Amino acid sequence: MEFAHLTVLSLFCLAFVGITATSSGEDYWQSIWPNTPLPKTFSDLLIPSGKTNSLPIKSEELKQYSTLFFEHDLHPGKNFILGNTNSVGSIIRPFTKSRQGVTDSIWLANKEKQSLEDFCYSPTAIAEHKHCVSSLKSMIDQVISHFGSTKIKAISSNFAPYQDQYVVEDVKKVGDNAVMCHRLNFEKVVFNCHQVRDTTAYVVSLVASDGTKTKALTVCHHDTRGMNPELLYEALEVTPGTVPVCHFIGNKAAAWVPNHTADNLCVM
């Protein structure tokens, strides 16, 4: 009888170990943030390995990433037309030099010229911490260890396709020095998670010309010394290191910031 119990118990344990060993990234997410659905931005990380989408970021989405503006443009009533740096796709730069900021978006266009390894092992900019992650679990572990807390949240954009003209409805600051995780434009599902110093992230509520509402994750860089001078001049006629420069972030990237709601709940 005792023996039978033990056997049942050990079988149960074995089954349990089996489940955790094969548990998906989604289960891991739920075990840490049980009440928070997995953001759509990370859904590519759930694609079974070996099955990938060949061009995860479509060319029309590039415009979302390649719109530069000033921080003082972030106010209700301001009009935006996406894509004021049209040459973003034509400026191909090797990842050999460490640069910051708008070069985040250059990798989008580099698929044909550079390998994933070129990108992931390229030098990081000063004070930039860069990690290429290829599973949801490694992204979660990475950001939790960065913040030293699970009281964090991911914020992303939900741009509608083929809408290029928007009016700002509302601007909310989400935090400084967020960790940005960008889906890289390679077949293999890899996100680059990095923190760039001297940045402020906002969520900007936009209304498209057809009435569609969008929330756009926006990052403003206060230190623009490492930015691409051609891009800055083309879009805003400024030179690196002079004024803060902001850009929208397309749907395939997210900002990780402290979740202050969680803190408030603990106080209550």
Ligand X SMILES: *[C@@H]1O[C@H](CO)[C@@H](O)[C@H](O)[C@H]1NC(C)=O
Per CB under 6 A, residues contacting ligand X are 33, 35-36, 153, 259, 261-262, 265
**Closest distance of CB 34 from ligand X, Å:** 9
Q: Which amino acid is at 230?
A: E
Q: Map tokens 């033990």 to a residue.
A: 6
**Closest distance of CB 47 from ligand X, Å:** 23
> Nearest CA to 191 among 131, 128, 117?
131
Q: How far is CA 242 from CA 84, 227, 235, in A?
A: 19, 11, 14
Closest CB to ligand X among residues 235, 253: 253
Residue 88 three-state SS:
helix
Closest CB to ligand X among residues 125, 152: 152
Q: Map tokens 């009533």 to a residue.
A: 77
Closest CB to ligand X among residues 106, 204: 204
**Closest distance of CB 36 from ligand X, Å:** 4
Task: Label the pairing between strands 179-183 and 253-258.
Answer: antiparallel
Closest CB to ligand X among residues 1, 268: 268
**Closest distance of CB 133 from ligand X, Å:** 19
How far apart (Å, rounded) are the C-alpha atoms in residues 153 and 166? Answer: 26
